[in-house]
Amino acid sequence: MKYTIIDRGDALSKSLVQQFHSLAAERGFIHNNEQPEIVISIGGDGTLLQAFHNYVDCIADVAFVGIHTGHLGFYADWKADELEELVRLMAEETPIMVRYPLAQIEVETSTETLHYLSLNEFSLKGVDGTLVAQINVNDELFEMFRGDGIVISTPTGSTAYNKSLGGAIVHPSIESIQIAEIASINNRVFRTLGSSVLLPKHHHCDIISKKDQRIQLSIDHVNIMHSDIKSIRCSVASRKVSFPRYRPFPFWNRVRDAFLDYDVRD
């Protein structure tokens, strides 16, 4: 088994990296940064986003395992004291591969078309103030947006930025993207739906921004400033991201453990 590790950079994560290497060596795993089969992320969900983007070009050939060194994460679900058990399962068991949908965008500028994939979401914001954009769904005018921004999230990203915007939490078996608004302005000229919308696979939306606007485009944790975006086409990507499951951890249990944390015995 060829593996690589990406860590958050703090002392605990760094010490776990060393521990993992020695446990992995005992099992005959091969450390390979160029063509890993398994990418281990040690840190938080943010660390896993970085790991994802480091290997996004070979996403079909890698699978991700997240170990958290802070609070329970949505992508990072192994605890620091479970490292030995994890390496044992990696060596001895054949995991169930769960595959989560990704979002894709094609950004049309005056000179080129840029392609991006995201694990959590894309967001668009106006750099100099209000974002002004026309939103088409399946090539027909849907709404005229004026406001702080728009967030297009994946099902697994629905618990992140999207949730803060009042978007729905979407089970990752529902292949979809969710469009959520950030503080839309509603008047007679600009009117938006207000609630967030789920688009299924094979539907698309185009965000056609007003000319010469400076736009901050975020792809998960990465922010890029653009000044010549003409339009952005958003859809469910044909590629998916893989996570080996060595033990069950249902999505709704993650949601409950992360956000509700009830003592179920009461």
| Cβ density class 215-241: b for 16+ within 10 Å, e for less | bebbbbeeeeebebbeebbbbbbeebb
45 included as an active-site residue: yes
Q: Does 36 bind Mn ion (CB under 5 A)?
A: no
Cβ burial of 24 (10 Å; 0-12, 13-18, 19+) is buried
Q: Does 43 bind Mn ion (CB under 5 A)?
A: no
Catalytic annotation, pick one of 45, 77, 206, 220: 45
CA–CA separation, 106 and 110 (whole Å)? 13
Q: Which residue from 213, 226, 219 is spatially nearest to 50, judged by alpha carbons? A: 219
CB of 4 to ligand NAP, least distance (A): 19
Q: Does 157 bind Mn ion (CB under 5 A)?
A: no
Candidates 20-28, 46-54, 167-175, 209-217: pick the segment binding Mn ion (CB under 5 A). 46-54
CB of 101 to ligand NAP, least distance (A): 13
Q: Which residue from 183, 48, 44 is spatially nearest to 124, judged by alpha carbons? A: 183
Q: Does 143 bind ligand NAP (CB under 6 A)?
A: no
Q: Does 161 bind ligand NAP (CB under 6 A)?
A: yes
Candidates 43-51, 86-94, 134-142, 204-212: pick the segment binding ligand NAP (CB under 6 A). 43-51
Kindly report the CA angle at 201 between 62 and 122, in degrees rounded to 5?
65
Is 29 or 149 the residue whose CB approaches ligand NAP more closely? 149
Q: Does 221 bind ligand NAP (CB under 6 A)?
A: yes
Is 10 or 108 the residue whose CB approaches Mn ion more closely? 10
CB of 13 to ligand NAP, least distance (A): 12
Is 69 or 178 the residue whose CB approaches Mn ion more closely? 69
Amino acid at 148: D
DSSP per-residue letters across 90-113: HHH--PEEEEEEEEEEEEEESS-E
Amino acid at 106: E
Is 72 or 137 the residue whose CB approaches ligand NAP more closely? 72
Question: Do the Cβ atoms of 126 and 213 come closer than 8 Å?
Answer: yes
Q: Which residues bind to ligand NAP, rule: CB under 6 A?
A: 44-46, 49, 70, 73-74, 120-121, 156-157, 159-161, 164, 220-221
| Contact residues: Mn ion, CB under 5 A | 44, 46
What are the residue numbers of the active site? 45
